[in-house]
Structure 1
Amino acid sequence: MNKKIAILGVGLIGGSLAFSFKERTDYRVIGFDTSEATIDQAITLGAVDEGHTSLPEAVVNADYIIIAVPVGQIGLYINQLANLPLKKGVIVSDVGSTKAEVTKYGKILKDKGYSFIGGHPMAGSHRSGVQAAHALLFENAYYVLTPEPDSSLSDVEKLSHLLKKATHAQLVVMDAEYHDKVVGAISHLPHVIATGLVAQVGNYNDANGWFHRLAAGGFRDLTRIAASHPVMWRDILLSNREEMLPLLDDWIKQMTNFRQAIDRGDADWIEAIFARSRDLRQGLPDKKKGLLTPIYECSINIPDEPGIIGQVATLLGEHEVNLSNIHIMENREEMHGILRLTFRKLTDFERAIPILEAAGYSTYTENSKEVDHVHLN
């Protein structure tokens, strides 16, 4: 009998894991979802070998069980699994973006004699659902495992080997609480800040519509992640409340320092923090898969002539470069170029630049040499 992996939840992450296991291992992949339509679609796309809407049927005799449901539901599924006759030696993991709370739930399985090892693949997409899933989603991304100190070293090695072989990700072992502090700072806090900023400007816009009309460039880039799923982020923040509260306290302190510096006219402090942040930002890893979905964009200058946008799109199309979106920049403060081109894949972005430049267009990317703007009154 073939060894089996059960994926509970075949959306973007679960479906991509299913594709990875099917393409790169000899395991039989079983999908579970509460939606029969999702299961049918997963089977049709070839993500799973078979699918079920019955949890007991999906996990029977499974060697590995991966819980790929929203973080707010992981505890419920762990409780259900703990009350099922799972295969002896089964290894259970999850893909939730918070780990301390999930790891506590996992002890329920350990008490039943099963192995639970928390997991978090740090990759995603602006798209969702199994229709957006693919085996390359985790390629070279970090995949964090958070075993407890008393976890079986053999089981950790087995799961690590399987995931590395299937996903081609970079496996990292980390303490669950430390993981939550790290992702809280680099992912959860930015979502809170972006959401709060959009809400604040939205309140201003209720009284004067120019706030939204002029919102472009940096504002749109900074707040892109505020368009994330409300229920998912509600559950993530509540699940990670132990880490989020001190992170928010630190942020409030930082903003208080900003306010005080502006109030007292402290030019040196303001310049120093902008300079330090610029240096830190430029030192971040470039084009690395992570928690925040990357965007690949460049801007070009074009004359205001009929058909020019179509010419650009046709040029890229003739070279089989997939262009995701075109946006005319009306507000170009601190922005280069008139036409912003967006690509979903890094390969398309990298191919587009020389094609556009060979056609005579000047291209500007995030790494283009910055020009200091001096405003004269």
Structure 2
Amino acid sequence: MQRRVLIIGLGLIGGSLALCIKRAHKDAIIIGFDVNEEQTKLGRMLGVIDEVAPSIEEGAEHADLILIATPVKVTEIVIERLEKTPLKSDVIISDAGSTKKEIVQLAKGLKHKGITFIGGHPMAGSHKSGVSAAKSILFENAFYILTPDEHLSEDQLHELQSWLSGTRARFITLTPDEHDYLTGVISHFPHVIAASLVHQAEKTSTKQKLVPSLAAGGFRDVTRIASSNPEMWRDILLQNKEVMLNLLEDWQLEMQKVSEMLATENSEEIFDYFHRAKQFRDELPQKERGAIPSFYDLFVTIPDYPGVISEITGYLAKEEISITNIRILETREDINGILVISFQTEEDRTRADQCIHYYTNYETSLGL
């Protein structure tokens, strides 16, 4: 008998999870549901899913695995609906949200019905969104955090990992509290800082008209994560409120420390401050995928003549190398410009670097 998998939410994450399960479990039937009917139709047309569920309840009733890949506030609503739905006794339910404590707490209603719920968070993303951007390689070598309840057996946890084996991710088991604190430190809080830097630049731009032009280079890269979905980040911050408030308090103390160093002109402490930060950052793993999606950018120094960009993208297309984004740095004043090309993986960036060197004599680098 074929096993059935319901994916609720057919965006980038839900679609990619569907493809990963298809890769590892070719006999499974993948059913999709999304409030946006166009996404489900597109998912069916692209072969991401095999069937479209008319409703969450109809899709869930006979499912062996249910994965909820929706924004965290929507996940809460979905869990409440699943509690009222007749489900198979051995079904496993998991989510893909960026916060876990409140979700796992809410899912205790499923536990009381004898249903297995295991919180999940695949730490991967992309510049693109929607089911058309789904890729079976999205989670490869990424951390996939699972937050099982204490009552769950190892067999249930291993069964979910078996279902998700096609992600080729690195599974880590944490408590919901541990998950929310760690992701708060290395993902949620940096998004707040990036947004605050952009707000500061915006305010300054009313007096200094050169700010937007000068911010087009490195500043734009540093604050790239501020372009994330505002609705999603509103929900994440509210769900992780306690952790974020504590981190913001710590940050204010850190900034006070910097203010005091500047006020007293303590050059030795200022040097040490940047030196220790450099040391810690330089020791961070370079090739591991963390909580914030990596940006695999290639910087190409190009001459200023018509058609040069299409020339380069043509070479990449010839070698079947996909790009996710392309732009020109606007701060250069000489005859050469800097073309920034973004890729989905480090392997694609390496291939692109080799491709451009093979066909041209343009200089390239991985950073400026």
Residue-by-residue CA offset, 1:236-281 (whole Å, 9 max, x unaligned): 0000112111111111111111111111111111111211111222
Residue-by-residue CA offset, 1:49-94 (whole Å, 9 max, x unaligned): 1112311111012111111110111111111111111111211111
User: Kindly tell me: are residues 258 and 312 of structure 1, through their superposed partners in 2, closer, same or farther at Cα, counting changes over 3 Å?
Assistant: same
> Which whole-Å CA distance do the structure 1 matches of 2:332 and 2:175 have between them?
44
Whether contact under 8 Å (1:299, 1:338) holds in the other structure is no
Pairwise mapping of residues 115-154 of structure 1 onto structure 2 (< 5 A)?
Answer: 115-154=116-155
Corresponding position of 2:102: 101
1:265 to 2:265 alignment: yes
Structure 2 unaligned regions, length at least 5:
none
Q: Which amino acid aligns with 1:148?
A: D
User: Kindly tell me: are residues 77 and 347 of structure 1, through their superposed partners in 2, closer, same or farther at Cα, counting changes over 3 Å?
Assistant: same
1:171 to 2:171 alignment: yes
Give the deviation of 1:340 after TM superposition.
2.9
User: Kindly tell me: are residues 153 and 234 of structure 1, through their superposed partners in 2, closer, same or farther at Cα, counting changes over 3 Å?
Assistant: same
Q: Which amino acid aligns with 2:351?
A: R
Corresponding position of 2:195: 195
Residue-by-residue CA offset, 1:3-56 (whole Å, 9 max, x unaligned): 111111111111111111122202211111222222211111111111123111
Q: Which amino acid aligns with 1:256?
A: Q
Corresponding position of 1:88: 89
> Which whole-Å CA distance do the structure 1 matches of 2:196 and 2:315 have between them?
40
> Which whole-Å CA distance do the structure 2 matches of 1:311 and 1:38 have between them?
34
Q: Which amino acid aligns with 1:340?
A: L
Whether contact under 8 Å (2:198, 2:226) holds in the other structure is yes
Whether contact under 8 Å (1:89, 1:115) holds in the other structure is yes
Corresponding position of 1:159: 160
Corresponding position of 2:216: 216
User: Kindly tell me: are residues 242 and 53 of structure 1, through their superposed partners in 2, closer, same or farther at Cα, counting changes over 3 Å?
Assistant: farther
Corresponding position of 2:366: 365
> Which whole-Å CA distance do the structure 2 matches of 1:312 and 1:49 have between them?
38
| C-alpha RMSD over aligned residues | 2.0
Pairwise mapping of residues 305-320 of structure 1 onto structure 2 (< 5 A)?
Answer: 305=305, 307-320=307-320
Pairwise mapping of residues 322-337 of structure 1 onto structure 2 (< 5 A)?
Answer: 322-331=322-331
Q: Which amino acid aligns with 2:366?
A: T
Residue-by-residue CA offset, 1:165-221 (whole Å, 9 max, x unaligned): x21111111111111111111110010000011011111212332211221322111
User: 3-state SS of the aligned residue for 1:291?
Assistant: coil
1:28 to 2:15 alignment: no
Deviates more, 1:197-206 or 1:301-310: 301-310
Corresponding position of 1:374: none
Corresponding position of 1:72: 73
Q: Which amino acid aligns with 1:352?
A: A
User: Kindly tell me: are residues 261 and 306 of structure 1, through their superposed partners in 2, closer, same or farther at Cα, counting changes over 3 Å?
Assistant: same
User: 3-state SS of the aligned residue for 2:206?
Assistant: helix
Corresponding position of 2:46: 45
> Which whole-Å CA distance do the structure 2 matches of 1:92 and 1:109 have between them?
9
Corresponding position of 1:288: 288
Corresponding position of 1:240: 240
Corresponding position of 1:342: 341
How many percent identity over aligned positions? Answer: 42
Whether contact under 8 Å (1:204, 1:211) holds in the other structure is yes
User: Kindly tell me: are residues 77 and 323 of structure 1, through their superposed partners in 2, closer, same or farther at Cα, counting changes over 3 Å?
Assistant: closer
User: 3-state SS of the aligned residue for 1:207?
Assistant: coil
User: 3-state SS of the aligned residue for 1:301?
Assistant: strand
Whether contact under 8 Å (1:322, 1:343) holds in the other structure is no
Q: Which stretches of structure 1, 4 residues or more, deviate above 6 A after TM superposition?
A: none
User: Kindly tell me: are residues 355 and 23 of structure 1, through their superposed partners in 2, closer, same or farther at Cα, counting changes over 3 Å?
Assistant: closer
Deviates more, 1:246-255 or 1:205-214: 205-214
TM-score when normalising by structure 1: 0.90
Whether contact under 8 Å (1:95, 1:120) holds in the other structure is yes
> Which whole-Å CA distance do the structure 2 matches of 1:143 and 1:47 have between them?
21
Q: Which amino acid aligns with 1:43?
A: R
> Which whole-Å CA distance do the structure 2 matches of 1:47 and 1:318 have between them?
26
Whether contact under 8 Å (2:10, 2:33) holds in the other structure is yes
Give the deviation of 1:329 after TM superposition.
2.9
Residue-by-residue CA offset, 1:306-340 (whole Å, 9 max, x unaligned): 5544544444444444445444333369xxx8413
> Which whole-Å CA distance do the structure 2 matches of 1:207 and 1:188 have between them?
30
Corresponding position of 1:299: 299
> Which whole-Å CA distance do the structure 1 matches of 2:226 and 2:131 have between them?
23
> Which whole-Å CA distance do the structure 1 matches of 2:8 and 2:317 have between them?
39
> Which whole-Å CA distance do the structure 2 matches of 1:361 and 1:136 have between them?
30
User: 3-state SS of the aligned residue for 2:211?
Assistant: helix
Corresponding position of 1:7: 7
> Which whole-Å CA distance do the structure 2 matches of 1:56 and 1:319 have between them?
45
Structure 1 unaligned regions, length at least 5:
369-377
Q: Which amino acid aligns with 1:169?
A: A
Whether contact under 8 Å (2:185, 2:247) holds in the other structure is yes
